Amino acid sequence: MTEQRLEKAHCDWYADEEILDTTIGGLLREQAAANGDAEALIEGLPDGTSGRRWTYAELLADVERLAKGLAARFQPGERIAVWGPNIPEWVLVEYACALAGLTLVTVNPAYQKRELDYVLRQSTAAALFLVNEFRGNPMAAIAKEVAAEIPHLREVVDMLDHDALFTDPIGTLPGVDTNDPAQIQYTSGTTGFPKGVVLSHRNLTNNARIFAKSGNLGDRQSTIGLTPLFHTMGCSMGVLGALQTASSYCPLPSFDPNAALDLIAREKVTWTLAVPTMAVAMIAMQKANPRDLSSLKMIGMGGAMVSPDLAKAAEAVLGSKSLVAYGQTESSPVITSARPSDSIEDITTTIGRPALGCEVGIFNPETNEIVACDTVGEIRSRSYATMLGYNDNPEATAEAVDAEGWLHTGDLGTMDDRGFVRITGRVRDMIIRGGENLFPAEIENVLLELDEVAECAVVGVPDEVLGEAVAAFVRMTDGAVFDPEALRAHCRSQIAPQKCPAHWQQVSEWPLTGSGKIQKFKLRDQWIAERVAETATGA
């Protein structure tokens, strides 16, 4: 592309990328026909070895068998929830639902009863495919308790019981349109309740294709699934990115840097996706126990900025180039990305330029006007990748996507005259912990269930490893004892571990706005100032 310069913070240079009318199942059939002998799916084991393997021909055969069994029991358009770690069966269910015209609902395996109950009810899921237990979470027991109270949930299936998973393949597979819903992925909202992002086959297949194209990912390569499958980085960019290039996908049940490095060496992995904390851990382990990682060429990173030191260490120690991407579930997810030809400075100080097929602008959130280059405003995107909407929530959909088709990300940033975007903050008070979005209202609602908690405010505070950590400021009722361990135990029994506050502070009064709202930024600033003072005094 000829070098250009922007006059305002609005870039549509890349928006004319051809968008294809593809479906997930259709692409799998195409790859099985053209690359049937290529490896498609490899089981990664927790000890860093590999287990079962499928070629594209074998994968399609198993997926069609599973899909026909589903089609015999469920009508096109019904929702099927999958609740488990990164295992091959998760991928089989993802593909089978796509072929059977069913909508996959992705569920975080760390969820507790209240979280699972909410997702299953809000999505009106007709079935739940799960594993019995993962990392100490008794999922089968939780599901049994929840399922007894949800009439529309007709089946609970253990994915590792193949007699239950693969029922008689007697159903007829329906036609599936590119604009049909393919997945519902839940992302927390400012109300404290997650919103179900409905994504189409067209959204997901093109976003994965464009991600692979922008990263110059070659055909018949190999990738390892480090990011969770319930997230778009896993089931879309990872699984479908591999599909687009007839490459193999090796899911690792849960991230462990030694197991990941062993599998990269064993399977000659060429690219992977990670949040920066994962890359930091792998660099440390590779230094301690070197392996042959000569196959690894690229690590795509999202969820947090990539520091220059991290990018340089990844290349020096892991031998791979780092490419940053920015997105949201509502955009399938990629909105901006770096390209392999970008300089190390641009890769480490920006979130890249608009993704192919995507138009990005920086807007004044008060006037809705595009701002000048290098001026802070809200990052907004407009593209084929924008969600169909929030499930059964037209009000929230209208708030997120305006009448002109712009997705309001809620993130603040700037764009320079070359189209490179930088994030400077957030319109909303979302916490990004280790690349995962957490919303304070959900955590606050859990704390306010306790009679002894009068008021609370949850904010994100700086953390050297995770980017941000969760901090809870709590005002107790008169006479109640402030006991952080008891508060933490209550949170842990109700929500996933990563949402539980790491820092606790008792307050007697709040910094308030003129209208009486808590000024969370002042709480964050106060917390930082106290840490700086402690460091200075050696406390």
Could you tell me the pTM of the whole model? 0.86
Average pLDDT over residues 238-248: 98
241, 289: one domain: yes
Instruction: Identify the domain boundary among 386, 415, 444.
Output: 415
Hey, what amino acid is at 288?
A
Residue that wins the pLDDT comparison between 156 and 513: 156
Burial class (CB in 10 A: 0-12, 13-18, 19+), 404: exposed
Instruction: Identify the domain boundary among 357, 388, 415.
Output: 415
Instruction: Tell me how far apart the alpha carbons of residues 493 and 491 are, in angstroms, rounded to a whole number.
Output: 5
- Please identify which residue in the block is written with the tokens 């070197």: 290
pLDDT of residue 191: 44
512, 408: one domain: no
pLDDT of residue 539: 59
Whether pLDDT at 437 is above 90: no
pLDDT of residue 349: 87
166, 276: one domain: yes
**Is residue 423 situated within a structural domain?**
no
**Is residue 12 situated within a structural domain?**
no
Whether pLDDT at 27 is above 60: yes
Whether pLDDT at 460 is above 70: yes
pLDDT tens digits, one per residue of 97-140: 999 999 999 999 999 999 999 999 999 999 999 999 999 999 99
Whether pLDDT at 517 is above 80: no
Average pLDDT over residues 449-466: 90
398, 516: one domain: no
30, 144: one domain: yes
Hey, what amino acid is at 400?
A
230, 294: one domain: yes
| Residue 355 φ/ψ, nearest 5 degrees | -65, 155
Whether pLDDT at 459 is above 70: yes
**Is residue 59 situated within a structural domain?**
yes
Spell out where 261-320 has E strands.
271-274, 298-301
Residue 471: which CATH number?
3.30.300.30
404, 449: one domain: no
Whether pLDDT at 399 is above 80: yes
What is the torsion angle, in degrees rounded to the nearest 10, for the CA atoms of residue 273, residue 277, residue 281 and residue 282? 20
Q: Of the given ranges (50-59, 70-79, 429-438, 469-478), which has the lowest mean pLDDT?
A: 429-438
CA 522, 525, 531, 532 torsion: positive or negative?
Answer: negative
Instruction: Tell me how far apart the alpha carbons of residues 331 and 407 are, in angstroms, rounded to a whole number.
Output: 8
Number of other residues whose CB lies within 10 A of the CB of residue 33: 11
* pLDDT-based confidence at residue 305 (cuts at 50, 70, 90): low
* Sequence-ordered list of residues with C-beta below 8 angstroms from that of 332, at least 6 positions apart, any chain: 199, 203, 204, 206, 207, 232, 236, 385, 386, 387
391, 530: one domain: no
Instruction: Tell me how far apart the alpha carbons of residues 229 and 194 are, in angstroms, rounded to a whole number.
Output: 18
135, 243: one domain: yes
Average pLDDT in the chain: 93
CB 265 within 8 A of CB 257: no
* pLDDT-based confidence at residue 432 (cuts at 50, 70, 90): confident
Hey, what amino acid is at 423?
I
pLDDT tens digits, one per residue of 35-68: 999 999 999 999 999 999 999 999 999 999 999 9
**Is residue 428 situated within a structural domain?**
no
Residue that wins the pLDDT comparison between 481 and 518: 481
Instruction: Tell me how far apart the alpha carbons of residues 128 and 84 are, in angstroms, rounded to a whole number.
Output: 10
Which of these, 216, 223, 276, lies nearest to 86 by C-alpha position?
A: 223
CB 269 within 8 A of CB 296: yes
Number of domains the chain contains: 2
CB 83 within 8 A of CB 12: no
Whether pLDDT at 377 is above 50: yes
pLDDT of residue 215: 95
Residue that wins the pLDDT comparison between 204 and 429: 204
Whether pLDDT at 283 is above 70: yes
CA 483, 487, 492, 493 torsion: positive or negative?
Answer: positive
Which of these, 207, 253, 229, lies nearest to 20 by C-alpha position?
A: 207
**Is residue 135 situated within a structural domain?**
yes
312, 403: one domain: yes
441, 335: one domain: no
**Run of H or E including 494:** helix 484-494
**Is residue 426 situated within a structural domain?**
no
Within 13 Å of residue 84, how many CA atoms lie on the same side as its CB? 27
**Is residue 493 situated within a structural domain?**
yes
pLDDT of residue 521: 81
DSSP per residue over 358-392, as a string? EEEEEE-TTT-PBPPTT--EEEEEEETTS-SEETT
Whether pLDDT at 538 is above 80: no
pLDDT tens digits, one per residue of 362-375: 999 889 999 999 99
pLDDT of residue 308: 81
Whether pLDDT at 189 is above 60: no
CA 318 to chain CA mean position, Å:
24
**Is residue 215 situated within a structural domain?**
yes
* pLDDT-based confidence at residue 190 (cuts at 50, 70, 90): very low
Instruction: Tell me how far apart the alpha carbons of residues 42 and 7 are, in angstroms, rounded to a whole number.
Output: 48
pLDDT of residue 304: 62
Residue 197: which CATH number?
3.40.50.12780
CB 43 within 8 A of CB 67: no
Which domain range does residue 502 map to?
433-537
409, 439: one domain: no
Instruction: Identify the domain boundary among 415, 444, 472.
Output: 415
